[in-house]
Structure 1
Amino acid sequence: MKQWLQAFIAAIQFLTRIPVPVNVPFTNEVLKRSTLFYPWAGCIVGVLIWGAGLGLQLVLPAGPAAVLTLALAVALTGGLHMDGLMDTADGVLSHRSRERMLEIMKDSRVGAMGVIACILVLLLKWSLIASLMTAGAWQLWLVVPFIWSRAAMVWGMTNEPYARAESGLGSYFQGLHRGHLLGAVFSALMLSLATVYIMVSVPLEMAGWSASFAALAAYAIHPWWLLLGAPVLGMGAVWGCSRYLSKKLGGLTGDTYGAMNELTETILLLLLVLMTGWRG
């Protein structure tokens, strides 16, 4: 029990800046076990962001509320994943040799490609958050992209080799096997189902069947084929992203894990906007 509690705390401390005043040894075994709780860390971040956005909309228009919500999202992770995205963009988009790309990614300075990638992703995220708020679709399902983007990192850690011969942040997780991936996917699936259940059951209990279904219809998902295809599209995005980066770099690094998280999160938010905003 103590080992699993340590793993859970390690996932929160490693992936977020949420203060947990407990000392946990960041050993290889603890960090590998912590990957099973990555979706839980994403869920906690997502719930905090959803709650903040809900409150901000009571006092602000959608535009500024979305900016402050996005600022909280960055603060909750300390910009860890965004930093990985910037370093990855600097290296991969330099179109140099594999060795040179890895050197560029290791450099603490941020280049033009990293800044451009950061600005574009933040702008897209802001527009997606604002769109959900404007459409009245700021519901608990917002948590789902944050859950699965963390599971996507475990996918990359498990299915692709580590690119650096020397030690690096990603090297702490070497030795992951399919059991860790299955555990992370199972956690993500259970959390997603729990989110959907809460979304549907709470209105039913509070307002009755007819009133709650009328409320749900206000942000009904269109078209239904996109709802069914969203998991496939999401998995395809994760696979394509990990394969592309792995081929370019000869494997993945700690930076590319962060980039995968940011890109997967953004793609899933985009799919969520399409599902809730489609009027065709």
Structure 2
Amino acid sequence: MAIRSLKESLQAAGAAFQLLTRIPIPVQIPFTREVLARSVLFYPLVGLIVGLITALAGWLLAYVLPAWPAAVLTLLVWIALTGALHLDGLMDTADGVLSHRSREKMLEIMKDSRVGAMGVIAAILLLLLKASLIAQWLGESDLRPLLPHLVTACMWGRLWMVGAMLLWPNARGNEGLGGMFAGLPKRQLAYAGLLHVVLAGGVYAVSGTSWQHGALYLLTGAVITAFVGGGVAMWLNAKLGGLTGDTYGTMNEIVETVLLLAAVAIFL
């Protein structure tokens, strides 16, 4: 039983990394509804790894390049780690929702593989904002204050995706990849949240943050994530009659960016 449970957990973790990143996982994993349901538990772990690699890249690049070139290359690493999956979702969502068509037409536009003007504009604006925030960080003489917040921003964005899957219906019913997460057990959010707290607490502890400040940062991150993510989710739900895989990616991008913006505003 224990061996089977371990195998299922490793399979679920592998599925999370294969779905959300381009980090090589050389194992054939069946993307069944059951495996995907278990995989959401490991979304905060995916965020941790993506955040750590991105932060390390920024740290190293800042020693050999000026702030802006280093920031652009750091952002490139960030995007490459996910294969631009969430950014693609943002563009598709912007094309559909900002077309101001009927619900059915918006969903149809979002399924179109071609990118329209609204999608391009949304992506450019978000990338410019992210690059400017990273450049602000890399331009500091001491890079340590913002580093743990960049890592945890990646974690919060992916944890919110799990929350959104549970709290709002899927606009396409059981269709598409997003539909594979329909009917997700509520305990999965609790498990993912617990893992998130443990991992994020570890990030703050390793960075030398006191437990009081670490707890405060976790609480602040939770409030910002719930407020921003919840607001975006409610707006998209009103527009589309539910959420889709594209909108999950959209919310991840927005939550990450707002948390990074808040960290820069507070600590720099």
The TM-score, its normalising length taken from structure 2, stands at 0.91
CA distance in 2 between partners of 1:11 and 1:229 (Å): 26
Partner of 1:216: none
The separation in 1 between residues aligned to 2:74 and 2:67, in whole angstroms, is 10
Q: Which moved more, 1:260-269 or 1:176-185?
A: 176-185
- The corresponding residue for 2:165 is 157
What's 2:245 paired with?
A: 254
- Contact 1:230 1:271 (8 Å CA) reproduced: no
Distance 1:227 1:169 in 2: 30
The 8 Å contact of residues 141 and 199 in structure 1, kept in 2 or not, is answered as: no
Deviation larger for 65-74 or 179-188 = 179-188
1:171-207 deviation digits (Å, cap 9, x = unpaired): 1111202211111111111111111100117xx9xxx
Distance verdict in 2 for CA 1:87–1:116, change over 3 Å: same
Question: Which residue does 2:187 correspond to in 1?
Answer: 179
Q: Name the residue aligned to 2:196.
A: 188
- Aligned-partner Cα distance in 1 for 2:82–2:219: 30
Alpha carbons of 1:50 and 1:98: their partners in 2 closer, same or farther (altered >3 Å)? same
Q: Which runs of 5+ in 1 are unaligned?
A: 205-219
The aligned residue for residue 116 of structure 2 is 111
Could you tell me how far apart the structure 2 residues matched to 1:268 and 1:106 are?
29
Deviation of 1:134 (Å)? 1.5
Q: Distance in 2 between matches of 1:28 and 1:276?
A: 42
Identity %: 54
Q: State the secondary structure of the residue aligned to 1:173.
A: coil
TM superposition shift of 1:230 = 4.5
Give the CA deviation at 1:139: 2.3
Which contiguous aligned blocks of 4+ residues in structure 1 show a shift greater than 3 angstroms? Answer: 225-231
Counterpart-to-counterpart distance in 2, 1:23 and 1:248: 37
Contact 1:226–1:275, Cα closer than 8 Å, also in 2: no
Total equivalences in the alignment: 257
Q: TM-score, normalised by structure 1?
A: 0.87
| 1:243 and 2:248 are equivalent in the alignment | no
Give the 5 Å matches for 1:77-226: 77-135=82-140, 136-137=142-143, 138-165=146-173, 167-200=175-208
Aligned residue in 1 for 2:266: 275
Please give the alpha-carbon distance, in whole angstroms, between the structure 1 residues aligned to 2:225 and 2:28.
35
Which has the higher mean CA deviation after the structures are superposed, 136-145 or 51-60? 136-145
> Conserved in 1, the CA contact under 8 Å of 2:15 and 2:39?
yes
The 1-side partners of 2:65 and 2:53 are apart by 18
Query: Which residue of structure 2 lines up, in the alignment, with residue 72 of structure 1?
Result: 77
For 2:256 and 2:97, how far apart are their aligned partners in 1? Answer: 20
Indicate if the aligned counterparts of 1:13 and 1:19 stay in contact, CA closer than 8 A. yes
Offset of residue 25 of structure 1: 1.0
Please identify, of 191-200 and 163-172, the stretch whose mean Cα deviation from structure 2 is larger.
Answer: 163-172
Q: What letter matches 1:178 in structure 2?
A: K
The answer to whether residue 62 in structure 2 is matched with residue 57 in structure 1 is yes
Q: What are the Cα deviations for residues 100-126 of structure 1, in whole angstroms up to 9, with x where unaligned?
A: 100110111111100000000000000
Does residue 43 (structure 1) correspond to residue 43 (structure 2)? The answer is no
Work out the CA distance in 2 between the residues paired with 1:170 and 1:226.
31
Flag the structure with larger Rg: 1
RMSD after superposition: 1.9
Distance 1:17 1:231, change over 3 A: same
Aligned match of 2:254: 263
Contact 2:149 2:260 in 1 (8 A): no
SS of equivalent residue, structure 1 residue 271 = helix
What residue in structure 2 maps to residue 212 of structure 1? none
Matched AA of 1:43: L
